[in-house]
Amino acid sequence: MALPEREERSFWIDGDRLRTEPVPGADLVVDGGWLLPGLVDAHTHPGTESLEDPFGDETLRRHLTDHRDAGVLLVRTPGSAARIPAWVDEDPAMPRVRSAGRWLATPGRFFPGLGRDVSESGLVRAAVEEAQASSGWCKVIGDWKHNEPALPLEILTAVVQAVHAVGGRVAVHCQTSEGSRNAVVAGVDSLEHGMHLDPGLIDRMAAQGTAFVPTLSVFGAGAESKRAAEPSAARDWWLAGWEAMLPNVRAAHEAGVTVLAGTDSFPCGTVASEVEWLVRAGLPAEAALGAASWSARSWLGLPGLVDGGPADLVAYETDPTLDASALAHPSRVILRGRVIA
């Protein structure tokens, strides 16, 4: 059964392409079960695991392999400590990657030296450079500490206009109310986290096509420790934002915003947990699964299970819309026409 259509269909693989007509000499690799376009993690940072660990090829390969073995065959890296090296695209055993180049951070708005530190006056030029040097994306740190100002709206608007002018797209990290507002009003292409997003902006996001990547699983994992922490302004601010996130995600979906699954956490290959959180937020199971598969692939410019499309697919013995945890246990993984597992 092929998803999302829920139709019994047969596919053949010709090189790295899917075909709906028989290919002579083909071997049977999947018989029955449920077929999905390869899973997608729309917010992951492979290549380094902590502030102390340098970005490296060995770690990057391990992280991408973990994604692939879990059926995540397309990843989007909205910001990294270094640009994704060319060998990733050249290696047929690696998932497809859509990179936003290096994080772009203005003074005081990120971990010093982890991304590309730029002045506010130099941000527009740097954003265009990163977009053109990567997969067409750039990533801007739109805010940082809860009690400090976000990147000014006029600067972020100029970034969006300049990057769009060269055919690129802009992702923005934002967790404060001001940062989220500025990102939406500036017309960014994706809102990353959006912890204190004003629900009054959701209709505007839908109208202009701003996607929402809430990364619920990484926040959910830290919620209990935050509640147990000593009271402080930062703790109360964080908890207030977390309490609003699930209702905002549901409202965004209902308004027609493209909601995508991204983990922003380690280990890699755990996008199934983000799907479970999207369901918990109130998305229908099929929409939550699409956020980590066909909807995300379409948003990133790749088709699903169609004739001539990329032969990137995962198979399951049971319907993953009935049990999101099944996503962590594919029965078959096929990447670029090659059987991985």
Residue 79 resides in a domain: yes
CATH of the domain at 78: 3.20.20.140
Residue 317 resides in a domain: no
Residue 309 resides in a domain: no
Residue 246 resides in a domain: yes
* 287 beta partners: none
One-letter identity of residue 283: L
* 220 beta partners: none
Per-residue pLDDT tens for 21-45? 999 988 888 988 999 999 999 999 9
Pairwise CA distance, residues 281 & 248, whole Å: 8
Residue 330 resides in a domain: no
Confidence of residue 323 (pLDDT cuts 50, 70, 90): confident
Per-residue pLDDT tens for 270-319? 999 999 999 999 999 999 999 999 999 999 999 999 999 999 999 999 99
- The residue with tokens 């971990």 is 111
> Which of 172, 170, 281 minimizes the C-alpha distance to 216?
281
Residue 313 resides in a domain: no
Residue 19 resides in a domain: no
Average pLDDT, the chain: 95
Taking the mean position of all CA atoms in its chain, how far away is CA 26?
34
CB of 161 closer than 8 Å to CB of 128: no
Question: Measuring CA to CA, how many Å separate 3 from each of 40, 118, 283?
Answer: 15, 44, 17
Can you give the pLDDT at residue 49? 85
Can you give the pLDDT at residue 295? 97
According to DSSP, residue 45 is labeled: -
According to DSSP, residue 109 is labeled: S
- Calculate ∠ Cα 62-63-64, nearest 5°: 95
Sequence-distant (≥ 6) Cβ neighbours of residue 305 within 8 angstroms: 2, 9, 11, 18, 35, 36, 37, 294, 313
Strand order in the sheet with 39-41: 39-41, 72-77, 96-99
Classify 258 in phi/psi space as left (phi over 0), alpha (psi -120 to 50) or beta.
beta
User: What residues make up the domain containing 262?
Assistant: 38-302
3-state secondary structure at position 173: strand
> Domains in the chain: how many in total?
1
pLDDT at 54 over 90: no
* Concatenated DSSP letters of 223-244: HHHHHHSPP-HHHHHHHHHHHH
Residue 28 resides in a domain: no
b/e code 209-223 from CB counts within 10 Å (16+ = b): ebbbbbbbbbbbeee
Per-residue pLDDT tens for 84-123? 999 999 999 999 999 999 999 999 999 998 999 999 999 9
